[in-house]
Amino acid sequence: MKKEQLEGSNIFFQNEYTLEKNIIENNYENILNLIFELWEFNRPAKIDIYIMKSDFKFAIMTHSIVQKLLLITFYLPFWILFERETRKKWRAVSHFQRKYPIILLKPIEAYDRLDKSIGKHIFIDAKIYKKKDQFLITLCDQLVNICIPPKIPIWINEGISTFTVENFIKKPKYKNESILLLKNDCKMIKNVHELSKVSDTCIAYNYAKGYWTVRYLEENYPGFLKETFMKYEGEEIVERIRLKLGLSEEDFWEQLDELLYENYKHLLDNQ
């Protein structure tokens, strides 16, 4: 693979993915600047970005020798039996195995085979975007994800990510109908391990709730979230949101649905 340096970071790619590499080079710095402007999240000193199709090859290339042996010996059978087909449908993934973030971005040619089962509930049809714009959205989404501190609840992460992407591309990513998901009765997803234990509808509900919450707060109380993220973590952040919105402690989760739906339901009339 070729390697090009970019502001202290690296892009690993093959010749056939030069378009994707150019998209990264032309937008990387502007995305990171926007992330800091909106949230003041610290940018990593170094980021490795790989453009390739294979999740397993990516894992092998970005782990230590000992970890590679463990992956091949113990994880490969599980991968083949349970995770291979699922991960083949992912557009991107990231990890911190080398104490700095490493991102896998699938090339544009793989996009037609990627999974849309959850996205169909919440996202505007990707067909309205050119494939290179879809890649740019994925790049932006991943750069936000690696900058978001782990102290922020996972359902709010999605709102931060999508709000940032929409600000960068100057186009909506969520469809207005996603507000209807808040009519469902779904629990809060508290960590990534719960994602495999709940339905696609429940995941879509948590994602939509995070998006509309962040959007509502930024539209009505600009700067509140930035300040909150700097001072609080975990459930303290949720509590600050509750207090800001004047919702009850016992029924916060349900009342938040009602507040968001009532505020944005007029968008459904404009379809």
Distance (Å, rounded) from C-alpha 191 to C-alpha 202? 13
Count CB-CB contacts under 10 A for residue 2.
12
pLDDT at site 82: 46
Angle at 152 between CA 27 and CA 103, to 5 degrees: 35
The residues that bridge with 174 in the sheet, in sequence order, are 123
Token pair 């195995």 is found at 97
245: closest CA among 266, 205, 214? Answer: 214
Name the pairing type of β-strands 2-6 and 92-95: unpaired
Distance (Å, rounded) from C-alpha 262 to C-alpha 200? 24
pLDDT at site 75: 57
Tokens representing 183?
């009519």
Distance (Å, rounded) from C-alpha 209 to C-alpha 214? 9
Q: What is the pTM of this model?
A: 0.87
Count CB-CB contacts under 10 A for residue 73.
9
pLDDT tens for each residue of the chain, 271 residues long: 899 998 889 999 999 999 999 999 999 999 999 999 999 999 898 999 999 887 767 766 665 665 655 555 555 555 554 454 545 556 677 766 567 899 999 999 988 776 666 788 898 887 778 889 999 999 999 999 999 998 999 999 999 999 999 999 999 999 999 999 999 888 888 777 677 677 888 889 999 999 999 999 999 999 999 999 999 999 999 999 999 999 999 999 999 999 999 999 999 986 5
pLDDT at site 189: 83
